[in-house]
Structure 1
C-alpha cells in the first residue's frame, strides 16, 4: 500500500520517473504512507478514443491516476492528495502546444478489506 496505477495515452511526453518520485513523496507527506510502501504501475495505451473523433487524429490524450489506500484517510486528506496528483501531472507532462487536448484525472479510493499482498 499504496497501490498506484497510471493509465495514459502514449502519445504524450511524460516524465514518468520524475512523476513517480514526486508522487511518492506527496503520498508520504499527505497520507502518511511509508516511502518503501509506495508502488506505481504505468500502463500506456496506444489508442485513445474521444467522442466521435477519429482516434488516429491524436487530438486528445488521457491520463488517469488511481491511488488505492488502506481505509481510514479523511475526505480532506483524499482531496489534498488528488489535487497534488493533478499538479504533478501538470508539472511532468509536457505541453506540446500542438493542439492536443489533455484530459487528466485522479482518484483516491479505499482498498477493499480483502486486500492482501506478498513480497519475495
Structure 2
C-alpha cells in the first residue's frame, strides 16, 4: 500500500520517473503513507480512441491514475490527493499540442488485501 497504477496513451511525452518520485512524496505527505510502501506501475497503451475521431490522427491522449489505499482516509484527504495528482500530471507531461484527458481516483483497498515481499 499504496498501489498506484498509471494508464496512459503511449504517444505522450511523460517524465515518468520524476512523476513517480513526486507522486510518492505527495502520497506520503497527504495520505500518511510510508515512502517504502509506495509502488507505481506504468501501463502505456498502444491505441487510444476518442469519440468518433480517427484514432490514427492521434489528436487526443489519455492518462488515468488509480491509487489504491488502505481504508480510513477522509474524503477531504482523498480529494486533496487527487487534485495534487492532476497538478503533477500537468507538470510532468509535455504540451505537444494534443488534447490531454487526465483523471485520477482513489479507491479503498478491500479488507482482503494482502501482500508479500521477497
Q: TM-score, normalised by structure 1?
A: 0.97
Q: Residue 43 of structure 1 aligns with which residue?
A: 43
Cα shift at 1:95: 0.5
Q: How do 1:97-112 and structure 2 match up within 5 A? A: 97=97, 100-112=98-110
State the distance in 1 between where 2:116 and 2:49 align.
Answer: 36
State the distance in 2 between where 1:46 and 1:57 align.
Answer: 14
* Matching of residue 92 in structure 1 with residue 84 in structure 2: no
Q: What is the DSSP-based 3-state SS (H/G/I as helix, E as strand, rest coil) of the residue aligned with 2:30?
A: helix
Q: Residue 13 of structure 1 aligns with which residue?
A: 13
Q: Residue 63 of structure 1 aligns with which residue?
A: 63
| Regions of 4+ moved over 2 Å | none
Question: Can you list the C-alpha shifts for 1:55-103, whole angstroms capped at 9, x where unaligned?
Answer: 1110100000000000000000000000000000000000113xx1100
Q: Residue 52 of structure 1 aligns with which residue?
A: 52
Q: What is the DSSP-based 3-state SS (H/G/I as helix, E as strand, rest coil) of the residue aligned with 1:41?
A: strand
User: Is there any run of 5+ residues in structure 1 with no aligned partner, and where?
Assistant: none
The count of aligned residue pairs is 118
Q: Residue 118 of structure 1 aligns with which residue?
A: 116
State the distance in 2 between where 1:65 and 1:56 align.
Answer: 24
Cα shift at 1:26: 0.1
Q: What is the DSSP-based 3-state SS (H/G/I as helix, E as strand, rest coil) of the residue aligned with 2:73?
A: coil
